[in-house]
Structure 1
Amino acid sequence: MTAEPGHPSGGDIFRQGDQAYELEERIAVGGFSRVYRARALDTDEHVVVKYPRPRHSGLDSEVYLDRELRALRTVAAAGGHPSLLGYRDHFTADGTTFIVVDYIEGETLDDTPYIGDEETIRTFGVKLASGVAALHRFGLIYRDMKPDNIIVTDDGAPMLVDFNTVRCRFQCSECGASVTQDAATEPTCHECGHAPGPITMVGDADKNRCKAPEQENPALAPGPWTDVYGLGKILFLLVCGFITQAPGEDPREQPEIQCSSSLAEIILRATAADPAERYEHAGALGQALAANDPRPPAATAVIRELESDTTYEVSDGDSIGRVGGSAVTVPSPPSDTGVSRQHARFVREGGPWFLEDTSLNGTLLDRNDEQHLLLSARGQQAHDIERAVPTRRMLLAGDQIYPGTDASRGGFRFEGDHWTKG
């Protein structure tokens, strides 16, 4: 059956190369998309096919669906995550983009807010936080945490779905600085004072009680700490069976609710009204849940040596370079690679990690097969470089680091913040 342009319906078959999908039943209509359960004709598996709703309320649904596609493909390219909806395919028909994702058996958390005792709640929270932390590693923010965006699978695990509000971490359009947690309530850039334009608001704060206070102000940019707030409200729901509107609510103060002090303190910190008082990102919240300790964990990141597959844990200020000079040693650098004893250092600033070159010869940063040169100010002066070269760059999970001038050896892969994975 051929679909009417812009109006697919049950029974329609879409072909994309060797793949074909038959729409079976519409299962949801979201703010930006329509969702069908479909059948992959080559494997006879059930999948989900999503496509944008016609433009409404002045918002372009295709823009949001494109953001979802990019987020899904980013996670899929890194191997996926057990708590994030899996990407299958995408195609265009009649000028409309369709996304194909996994079909998940289960019910939304809205329908099943009780999942078990406190240990089960913490395990569930660790797994969900780990999925959101994977987004944060790639510089992405979810922005729309709520119970009906979480499916509880048949084995009781969380699956985060609906990625059309995901977007890259906000950066100043004037100087490129990332919004930091400490400056999250400031309407201007903490580096240059530039005031960005209003940020498009997503969702309805009155209907979604998981939205953080800063999401009600279009002058403020959300960050990983915004998703932490939503996760904290989800934990409150799992403990109490309902969600309160106000930030910083103590589950122990709710009638007939039993909650340990450690879990209550984790929820209070995660849902603090001031972003600076929350966990910086979902990984930190996940670590606190796994340890059953509300204190924020020490900020460390993991890098992996490409040749030996050895992992290193680094802290703010740790350097990478030759033997005897740095916390992380470049494996057997030949003399002509220009690797210094303290060649580059890791800097953690306001949440994200940066790599800062401190050498005379520079550091190569490879992101998605595109190389970027970092060179210290003294290196630029020594080489009499007229055009300014960045001295540092924000790191994303998957970035490859090559101290010196040879990108064929001695490299490391940045894997992001160290946290307990669910």
Structure 2
Amino acid sequence: MDTIGRYRVLRQLGHGGMGHVFLAHDPTLERDVALKLLHRQTTRTGLRDEARALAALSHPGIVTVFEIGEHEGQDFIAMEYLPGRTLRDVLIAGAPRPELLAICVKVARAVGAAHRAGILHRDIKPENVVVTDGGEVKVVDFGIARRLEHEAGRSPRAVTASEVVETLRRTLPPDGAFTGMDTEVSAGTQTMFGTPAYMAPEVLLGEVSTPQSDIFSLGVVLHECLTGRRPYAATTLVEVIALTIEGPPPKLDDPLGALLDRMLARDAAERPSLDEIASALARPVTVTTRGASRSRWPIIGLLVLLAGGLAVAGWWLQRPAPVAGRAVAATELAIAIAPFSIQMATYGVEPPDSFAIADVLAHLLGAAEGARIIGTAVDTDDPQAARSVAARYLVSGSIVESGAVLRADVTIVDATTGTRVTTVKAERATLPLVLDSIAVAVLGAVAPGSDVRLDLAPNRSRAQMFYRQGAPVLESGRFTTARPYFEQAVVADPTLFEAWYALALVLAWMDAPEAQVVRATEHALELAPPGPRKELVRGIGLFLAGDYRTARTTLEPLEAITGPGAPEPRELRYYLGEANWHDGRHDAGFAYFKSALERDARFKPATVHAWQYAVARRDNEMARYYIGLAGESTDWIELALENYEQLARTGSSPRKLDAQLVLGETHSAEIEAKVRGTDLEAATLRIAIAVAGGELARARTEFA
């Protein structure tokens, strides 16, 4: 899809129950917009009136609507594009209480303005609040918003709490993992729009939404800001709805506890107004903290880039609760874990190492209490592989990224008979969290009824176990394999400096998304002990921030330090090389890369600029040597050295195609035929077709 209306689609930002959201460019006004293309089945008669009402609503805390249109029978809304972070991201980053309360004040005022204009939001949650790069707070995604008069004119089908819960129990999987992020839930004849974990009891009971319903949702958000969790802990959709309707009202020992009680009152009439809420939250209060307090991670001049405010790379979302299981006949239970099929587009350039992830899961199972669980990673999902390690059960499955969550489907097989015992599902925001959930679910399935449990509270010993597993893998230069161990370590103990530092190095060296590298580096800098290692992390952070000269002057004095506490020479020389290289000092940069490779020839990151340096100096043999150290094809070198004839004859795709294109041997139809079914990106294809057709201006535009 190249265009929607007059807008040129740049990339997809996300999708949900109502439709897909794209980053697009408006060529008329020369600005980027967020374009929401609604599913045909969710387009409603009143959409245009409601969108026009939003467009007429001018408030600094509400996303601006530019246009409502139609594209091939589907409605779309063009809105203000807001690069920044969602409130979910802010919560994950451990923002301090005053910052979170200030955000809630702005949300209350923005939603109040919408109510005064006759518009309900109906889906207030952290994912729908964006803190822009400029510090503004915006309420977004009025995709299921409703005019008040529409709600007032709707005939509600009120039902009892028991009817809702029983209907859901009959129609939904009782053991399905629940994230609370659904936007449309159907059960029998009952359909609810919104996110169940944030929905008011009266809405769950089939009554019409009112401004007080939005206030309840904001109360759930406020509870999450004050405590880091939602009011009702639940692992299934049925549970969260049952607790919201029938469970004991949550009580919070906090100066804002009385306000929160009223916001979460089951009787909508008891809830305070948004003006009262904003005033109460804006007043300073004294809070006595217990245990570990929230702290703001230092910002080291880095701009964390998130795609359209979607929640990514968070390790501290709500953890699955420990699950008690059935009694086991023996004190020992062996479980084999096969490599999972994993599809994660946002993981980075290199896909997850499925065997390493199986090994992490095996170690998680081995950390269970109440029985001796022996978890072992095996090469295949053949039950014979499980029997070869004397395992009773074999676990296999898949993890697929869908929007901002990971969905896992897991099968448990009795290895002695080869028959399937059960299947379990898990849905979480990050890979470590989904592995935690899988481990809990597997234990609940194979050992229900006993004291077997997995305690996922922060634990230094478990963190050090994962760190020790990953450290030798990192030393061997297998960065993709090492990554899952360090990610699990920082989840097990978010204060373990060594794990954050190793994770920052791994992410940087395997070219992971910048936001992930930034976050790990920030944590490592905060936790680093004073001395040379802290200065090394500081220098790395400055380099990542683009301050190459200061990074260089920060790192250079560390070369003279030797003995205990000195920075690891390979890492120091590599980052000195990067700082010099990007500061335009290529000779000095190459010398550092060469020095790092002399210490460890397997150190792949240092090879990249080394072979680039050799190509720039037309030193063919040196270029081939360094790219050979990296284990990469020499086709890149041949292309850079303009050996087009040889590459066109003997190269591999896509470099062979590049060479043929340069020589004029390939035309548009041939390009399309050759790349069909490959992973070559559509943008690359468009550039190639434009060049082949002599449309150089178009090619430059696509490339830009």
* TM-score normalised per structure 1: 0.51
- Distance apart, 1:265 and its partner CA: 1.9
Does structure 1 conserve the Cα–Cα contact (< 8 Å) formed by 2:39 and 2:74? no
CA gap of 1:204–1:173, structure 2 versus 1, over 3 A, is: closer
CA gap of 1:250–1:53, structure 2 versus 1, over 3 A, is: same
| Match status 1:268 vs 2:247 | no
Q: Which has the higher strand share?
A: 1
1:222 partner amino acid: S
| Match status 1:283 vs 2:264 | no
CA gap of 1:200–1:141, structure 2 versus 1, over 3 A, is: farther
- Distance apart, 1:172 and its partner CA: 5.0
**3-state DSSP of counterpart to 1:24:** strand
| 2:11 counterpart residue number | 25
Alignment of 1:230-309 (within 5 A): 230-245=217-232, 248-252=249-253, 259=254, 261=255, 263-279=256-272, 281-291=273-283
| Match status 1:217 vs 2:197 | no
| 1:88 counterpart residue number | 66
Does structure 2 conserve the Cα–Cα contact (< 8 Å) formed by 1:109 and 1:152? yes
Alignment deviations for residues 202-222 of structure 1 (CA, whole Å, 9 cap, x no partner): 1352xxx2111112111x222
Q: Partners in 2 of 1:142 and 1:227 — Cα distance? A: 7
Q: Which has the higher helix share?
A: 2
| Match status 1:152 vs 2:131 | yes
Alignment of 1:111-190 (within 5 A): 111-113=89-91, 116-169=95-148, 170-171=151-152
Does structure 2 conserve the Cα–Cα contact (< 8 Å) formed by 1:75 and 1:81? no
- Distance apart, 1:72 and its partner CA: 4.0
- Distance apart, 1:158 and its partner CA: 2.6
Alignment deviations for residues 217-258 of structure 1 (CA, whole Å, 9 cap, x no partner): 11x222111100111111111111221225642343xxxxxx
**3-state DSSP of counterpart to 1:111:** helix
**3-state DSSP of counterpart to 1:91:** strand
CA gap of 1:157–1:233, structure 2 versus 1, over 3 A, is: farther
**3-state DSSP of counterpart to 1:110:** helix
Q: Partners in 2 of 1:91 and 1:125 — Cα distance? A: 32
CA gap of 1:108–1:234, structure 2 versus 1, over 3 A, is: same
> What 5-or-longer segments of structure 2 have no aligned partner?
161-188, 233-242, 286-704
**3-state DSSP of counterpart to 1:99:** strand
Q: Partners in 2 of 1:13 and 1:202 — Cα distance? A: 29
**3-state DSSP of counterpart to 1:133:** helix
Does structure 2 conserve the Cα–Cα contact (< 8 Å) formed by 1:115 and 1:238? no
- Distance apart, 1:200 and its partner CA: 4.8
CA gap of 1:276–1:37, structure 2 versus 1, over 3 A, is: same
**3-state DSSP of counterpart to 2:152:** coil
Among 78, 81, 87, the alignment partner of 1:103 is: 81
- Distance apart, 1:90 and its partner CA: 2.3
CA gap of 1:243–1:155, structure 2 versus 1, over 3 A, is: farther
CA gap of 1:72–1:94, structure 2 versus 1, over 3 A, is: closer
CA gap of 1:14–1:85, structure 2 versus 1, over 3 A, is: same
Q: Report sequence identity in percent.
A: 28
Q: Partners in 2 of 1:166 and 1:199 — Cα distance? A: 19
- Distance apart, 1:77 and its partner CA: 2.0
| 1:37 counterpart residue number | 23
- Choose between structure 1 and 2 for higher RCO, CA contacts under 8 A separated by at least 6 residues: 1
| 1:51 counterpart residue number | 37
CA gap of 1:165–1:269, structure 2 versus 1, over 3 A, is: same
Does structure 2 conserve the Cα–Cα contact (< 8 Å) formed by 1:199 and 1:221? no
Q: Partners in 2 of 1:216 and 1:228 — Cα distance? A: 15
2:198 partner amino acid: C
Q: CA RMSD in A?
A: 3.0
CA gap of 1:235–1:156, structure 2 versus 1, over 3 A, is: farther
Q: Partners in 1 of 2:201 and 2:147 — Cα distance? A: 20
- The size of the alignment, in residue pairs, is 240
Does structure 2 conserve the Cα–Cα contact (< 8 Å) formed by 1:72 and 1:86? no
Does structure 1 conserve the Cα–Cα contact (< 8 Å) formed by 2:144 and 2:194? no
1:269 partner amino acid: R
2:192 partner amino acid: M
Alignment deviations for residues 139-185 of structure 1 (CA, whole Å, 9 cap, x no partner): 222111122122222244432111121112232569xxxx9xxx9x9
| 1:342 counterpart residue number | none
| 2:645 counterpart residue number | none
> What 5-or-longer segments of structure 1 have no aligned partner?
1-8, 56-60, 186-197, 253-258, 294-422
Does structure 1 conserve the Cα–Cα contact (< 8 Å) formed by 2:40 and 2:74? no
Structure with larger Rg: 2
Does structure 1 conserve the Cα–Cα contact (< 8 Å) formed by 2:101 and 2:225? no
1:83 partner amino acid: G
Q: Partners in 2 of 1:99 and 1:163 — Cα distance? A: 11
Q: Partners in 2 of 1:81 and 1:28 — Cα distance? A: 25
